């Protein structure tokens, strides 16, 4: 038992440190997904070591230190997504609710045939935007019943797990469907016009994940996220970037995306809102994201009930502060961020000029 525990502690520490390497191979990145699971396993290993080893034992001390170090490394990355941390996005006050936006994001799972469950959520919560991912022509046929109530849309049905659909109650302008990095992986870009006349720049993304059956490397995913972030640098307009990023919010690449784009995460200080895997409770992490600029306050964020997919939908309600005087402090680039971003995008020949800037007057 002691031998097993010793090996387990060493493996836990190695897996906890592995993502710090930042290598794009899927094995390296996959370890970063499981930080919550690694954290609890490290605590269990630490407790077992205290029970099985004498404190005076050098081997026991080594196992305890490795387990404690693994737990602390993972806690460092996870703590911002818990109530231990201060919230990054301030809550909306009643007087700030004049221009609100409700967004329902759902990776529907292309082979899933339980469309009525998603339509029931739309009926119940009446979102202004429905973002459907992994949607093919069958899903478009089911969701097109929304056309009357949500008459503005962007549709890109594909049968390769990367189809996308956007249905909106609010006008969409300057809409574009782009293939920023891969020829079969689309992204949506549009200007959204709100009820009180304000506008929001919207980018919807679903890059391919680093996984054995998908991509052996995270290079294409990283490049798509970072090239959008580079295009957002210096943007003074309200911005929302949403979708299934196939990445966790504590990863280096996700944090780089937010620092370069000046984007806030409403989950910070509130919770993880794990959306994947819906069918495996012990193996869940937050893959579906909604980041936004400093112009918004949060009315609410909630993980929705399952719809038969391997993802839970995510409902986010925001309020646009028309005076732009929120207390939100967006993240800013650190030393080395731009050189790292250049490396990531150059690896896949991703160009920021390929990213649309709908409805903005920002200079590149």
Q: For residue 247, what pLDDT band results from cuts at 50, 70 and 90?
A: very high
Q: What is the model's pLDDT at position 245? A: 98
pLDDT tens readout for residues 102-114:
999 999 999 999 9
Query: What distance in Å separates the CA atoms of residue 5 and residue 64, rounded to the nearest whole number?
Result: 10
What integer is the mean pLDDT of 222-237? 96
- What are the tokens at 283? 């193996």
For the whole model, what pTM was predicted?
A: 0.95
Cis peptide before 277 (omega within 30 of 0): yes
pLDDT tens readout for residues 304-349:
999 999 999 999 999 998 666 677 889 999 999 999 999 999 999 9
What integer is the mean pLDDT of 165-177? 98
CA distances in angstroms from 55 to 9, 10, 12, listed in the order given = 16, 18, 21
Q: For residue 363, what pLDDT band results from cuts at 50, 70 and 90?
A: very low
Query: What distance in Å separates the CA atoms of residue 173 and residue 258, rounded to the nearest whole number?
Result: 25
Say if residue 193's pLDDT is above 80.
yes
Is the Cβ–Cβ distance between 124 and 100 less than 8 Å? no
Quick check: helix, strand or coil at residue 93? coil
Q: Give all strands (DSSP E) within 222-331, no chain letters.
A: 239-244, 288-292, 296-303, 314-320
Kind plus residue range of the DSSP H or E element containing 188: strand 187-193
Long-range pairs of 159-164 with CB within 8 A, sequence gap ≥ 24: 159/110, 160/184, 161/110, 161/134, 162/133, 162/134, 162/186, 162/206, 162/208, 163/110, 163/133, 163/134, 163/135, 163/136, 163/139, 164/131, 164/132, 164/133, 164/135, 164/188, 164/204, 164/206
Higher pLDDT, 362 or 88: 88
Say if residue 254's pLDDT is above 70.
yes
Quick check: helix, strand or coil at residue 238? coil
Q: What is the model's pLDDT at position 215? A: 84
Q: What is the model's pLDDT at position 325? A: 64
Q: What is the model's pLDDT at position 53? A: 87
What integer is the mean pLDDT of 31-54? 94
């Amino acid at each position: 038992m002691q031998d097993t525990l010793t090996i387990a502690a060493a493996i836990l520490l190695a897996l906890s440190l592995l993502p710090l390497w930042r290598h794009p191979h899927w094995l390296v990145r996959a370890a970063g997904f499981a930080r919550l699971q690694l954290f609890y396993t490290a605590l269990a290993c630490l407790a077992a070591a205290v029970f099985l080893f004498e404190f005076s034992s050098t081997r026991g001390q080594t196992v305890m230190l490795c387990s404690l170090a693994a737990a602390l490394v993972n806690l460092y990355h996870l703590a911002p997504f818990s109530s231990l941390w201060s919230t990054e996005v301030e809550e909306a006050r009643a007087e700030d609710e004049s221009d609100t936006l409700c967004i329902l994001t759902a990776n529907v799972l292309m082979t899933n045939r339980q469309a009525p469950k998603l339509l029931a959520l739309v009926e119940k919560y009446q979102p202004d935007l429905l973002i459907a991912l992994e949607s093919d022509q069958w899903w478009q046929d089911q969701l097109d019943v929304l056309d009357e109530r949500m008459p503005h849309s962007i549709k890109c049905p594909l049968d390769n797990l990367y189809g996308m659909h956007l249905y909106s109650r609010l006008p969409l302008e300057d809409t574009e469907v782009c293939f920023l990095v891969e020829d079969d992986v689309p992204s949506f870009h549009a200007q959204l016009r709100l009820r009180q006349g304000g506008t929001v720049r919207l980018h919807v993304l679903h890059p391919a994940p680093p996984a054995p059956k998908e991509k052996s490397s995270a290079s294409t995913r990283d490049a798509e996220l970072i090239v959008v972030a580079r295009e957002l640098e210096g943007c003074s307009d309200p911005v929302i970037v949403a979708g299934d990023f196939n990445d966790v919010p504590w990863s280096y690449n996700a944090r780089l995306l937010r620092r370069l784009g000046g984007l806030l995460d409403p989950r910070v200080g509130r919770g993880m809102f794990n959306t994947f895997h819906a069918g495996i409770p012990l193996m869940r992490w937050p893959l579906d994201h909604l980041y936004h600029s400093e112009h918004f306050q949060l009315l609410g964020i909630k993980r929705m009930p399952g719809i038969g997919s391997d993802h839970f939908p995510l409902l986010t309600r925001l309020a646009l502060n028309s005076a732009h005087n929120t207390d939100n402090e967006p993240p800013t680039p650190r030393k080395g961020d731009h050189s790292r971003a250049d490396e990531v995008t150059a690896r896949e020949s991703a160009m920021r000029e390929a990213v649309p800037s709908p409805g903005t007057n920002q200079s590149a």
